[in-house]
Amino acid sequence: MNSHFFARRVHSLTGIIPVGLFLVYHLYTQLYLHQGAEKYNEHTNAFYESPLAIWLLIIFVYIPLFYHSILGAKLSIEATPQPSYHYFSHLLYWLQRISGIGVLLFIFAHLYNTKVMPLMTDTYGQHFEHLAEGFASAETGWLTKSVYLLGILGATFHFANGINTFCMTWGLALTPRAQLRVRVLSIIVFVLLTAVALYSLSAIW
């Protein structure tokens, strides 16, 4: 086993286990948006009360995500476009790469919007108000909303399709029929996660 093989297997694992599960958890917690500002802020801030919270985030989210992004971006750049082959899986292959890079950009914007800016203006903790104000802004509201919409679609697509390629990489689904079943599963995951996320956002749209 050489280092590239190892790196790719770790890349595949990090996409599902820490980062993917975090995405599911993160989208779930956004459902609190429907319970109003107080509940939402209370719940979000409660997570950080644990002295372990920040370390858990660094070890299980930031480091794996950083690793996955760096290798993912490298893989995306190295691919050779084959524009004359119009097959569905080939389209998914490119969407996987484009959504990955899109999600990376979104994460930066999202961190700035929900962490850096509130910390700079000393208003950290009022998560609900920040989000709602950003969405309601007369000048930039449309932009914020579009960025969130694209970011969420990108993340749910990337994760759902990633389940598909994860099963290929590790050889979990062998026959074309098994691969079709996994594809159906990934479509269900995509629809469900996207629906949950859009429903959450509708609270402040």
Q: Which residues bind ligand HEM (CB under 6 A)?
A: 12, 15-16, 19-20, 23, 68-69, 72-73, 75-76, 96-97, 100-101, 103-104, 107, 155, 158-159, 162, 165-166, 169
x/- letters, 152..171, toward another protein (CB under 8 A): ------------xx-xxxxx
| CA–CA gap between residue 66 and residue 70 (Å, rounded) | 6
Rounded (5°) CA angle 97-149-15:
40
Question: Looking at 38, 49, 80, 138, which residue binds another protein (CB under 8 A)?
Answer: 80
Q: How far is the CB of 87 from ligand HEM (least distance, A)?
A: 16
| CA–CA gap between residue 67 and residue 83 (Å, rounded) | 29
Cα dihedral 135, 139, 144, 145, rounded to 10, equals 60
Given ligand HEM, another protein, none, residue 138, with its beta carbon under 5 to 8 Å by kind, binds: none
Rounded (5°) CA angle 105-124-45:
95
Q: How far is the CB of 39 from another protein (least distance, A)?
A: 42
Amino acid identity of residue 152, one-letter, is: I
108 or 170: CB nearest another protein: 170
Query: Is 74 an interacting residue with respect to another protein (CB under 8 A)?
Result: no
Question: Looking at 34, 39, 74, 90, which residue binds another protein (CB under 8 A)?
Answer: 90
Rounded (5°) CA angle 69-111-189:
60
134 or 162: CB nearest ligand HEM: 162
Q: How far is C-alpha 164 from the chain's CA centre?
A: 16
| CA–CA gap between residue 150 and residue 144 (Å, rounded) | 10
Query: What tokens does 107 get?
Result: 């994460």
Q: How far is the CB of 114 from ligand HEM (least distance, A)?
A: 16
What backbone torsions phi and psi does residue 65 show, to the nearest 5 degrees? -65, -40
Q: How far is the CB of 2 from another protein (least distance, A)?
A: 5
Given ligand HEM, another protein, none, residue 184, with its beta carbon under 5 to 8 Å by kind, binds: none
What is the contact surface with another protein in residues (CB under 8 A)? 1-2, 4-9, 75, 78-82, 84-85, 87, 89-90, 93, 164-165, 167-176, 179
